[in-house]
Amino acid sequence: MTTAAIEFKNVHKSFSRKDGTVQRVLDGVDFAIPTGKTTVIAGGSGQGKSVTLKIILRLMSVDSGEVFVHGREIGGLRGRSLEMLRTQFGVLFQGSALFDSLTVFENVALPLRERTKKSEDEIYEQVNNSLAQFELEGHEAKYPAQLSGGMKKRVGLARAMQLHPSIMLFDEPTTGLDPVMTREIYHLFADTQAEFGFTSVIVSHDIPKVFNLADQVIILNRGVMDVFDSPEEIQWSEKPHVQEFVEMTMGKIYQSQLEEK
């Protein structure tokens, strides 16, 4: 049996509101993300999708329960062990999170300069190869403020790929992009995953487009997660909130698939 890349066991997470009440974001959540596959975590705004990503990255701790990455429980990791955990991940943030004061080249080179002992020549070669792969040649000296949304995503993806992560996390990767750029970015994800074979976790509310990439879909609703082995399986669920979700989104999915063809 293969170990799941990421596994949640009975995870609870809640936040206190200003009025003193408690908002349960994850309420005893169990799921496993298979190695080498693409899992989409979908759900409405404020349902805890980004919180789930932050828990996986240990940027946030859980109230109770266990989270495993490649079979290792991450709750107690500190210092160097935590650093080692994080080097297994590549993350593409919603707003790309590029460093404003660094050029495109410096942004992509940052993880290599900070996390490896490579020489400047080796870094120069690797970064330039990446920039060529992500069609960013000629933009090396530009600053993030001079780039379009799609280019920022490509720079973010190039930076995330530098340390050859085994798991890629995408947080709302196409927010703010037009449909053409969205399609291009998803093709880029698919091509990159086919080349490097990493596990993908995509958090998105851009459901119709994302479902084309998904091997597994997790729907997050009011702190509870429903796991489906394929996007098609969602249609046959009898749970009311899933049916509601299907009604809201499935029409769009078929429309999106037609557009693709």
Partner 1 sequence: MITDFLAKLGNTGLYVLTDLGRMTLFLLQALMGIFRRPFRFRELLRQLRFIGVGSLAVIFFTAISTGMVLGLQGYYSLNKFGAEGMLGSAVSLTLIMELGPVLTALMVAGRAGSAMCAELGIMRISEQIDALDCMAVDPFRYLISPKFMATIISIPLLTALFDVIGIAGGYVAGVGLMDVSPGSYIDGMKTSVTNHDIWLGTVKSCFFALLVVWISCGRGYFVQQIRGAGFGAESVSRVTTQAVVLSSISVLVFDYLLTAVLL
Q: Give the binding site for partner 1 (CB under 8 A).
A: 20, 54, 57, 59, 82-84, 86-87, 89, 91, 93-95, 97-100, 110-111, 114-115, 163
Sheet with 224-228: list strands edge to edge. 89-92, 167-171, 199-204, 38-42, 216-221, 224-228
Nearest approach, Cβ of 57 to partner 1 (angstroms)?
6
**Cβ–Cβ under 8 Å, residues 52 and 220:** yes
CB nearer to partner 1: pick between 106 and 226: 106
Q: Which is nearer to partner 1, 32 or 82 (CB)?
A: 82
- In sequence order, the β-bridge partners of residue 192 are none
To partner 1, the closest distance from the beta carbon of 112 in angstroms equals 10
**Nearer to partner 1 among residue 89 and residue 189 (C-beta):** 89
Helix (H) or strand (E) holding 26: strand 22-33
Q: How far apart are CA 22 and CA 226, in angstroms?
A: 22
Min dist CB 86 to partner 1, Å, is 4
Name the residue nearer to partner 1 (CB basis): 88 or 249: 88
Write down the least CB distance from residue 236 to partner 1, Å: 37
- Number of separate helices (H) and strands (E) present in the chain: 8, 10
Contact (CB, 8 A) for 249 and 207: yes
CA distance 219 to 70: 22
| Shortest Å distance, C-beta 31 to partner 1 | 21
- When the beta carbons of 44 and 95 are compared against partner 1, the nearer one is 95
Task: Please choose, from the candidates 241, 221, 247, 260, the residue with its C-alpha nearest in 3D space to the C-alpha of residue 47.
Answer: 221
CA-angle at 199, arms to 195 and 200, nearest 5°: 95
Per-residue DSSP letters for 66-90?
Answer: EEEETTEE-TT--HHHHHHHHTTEE
Q: Are 87 and 115 in contact (CB under 8 A)?
A: yes
30 or 63: CB nearest partner 1: 63
- Specify whether the CB–CB gap between 78 and 18 falls below 8 A: no
Output the smallest distance, CB 195 to partner 1, in A: 21
Which of 56, 250 has the CB closer to partner 1?
Answer: 56
The nearest distance, CB 83 to partner 1, in angstroms, is 4
Site of tokens 């037009």: 178
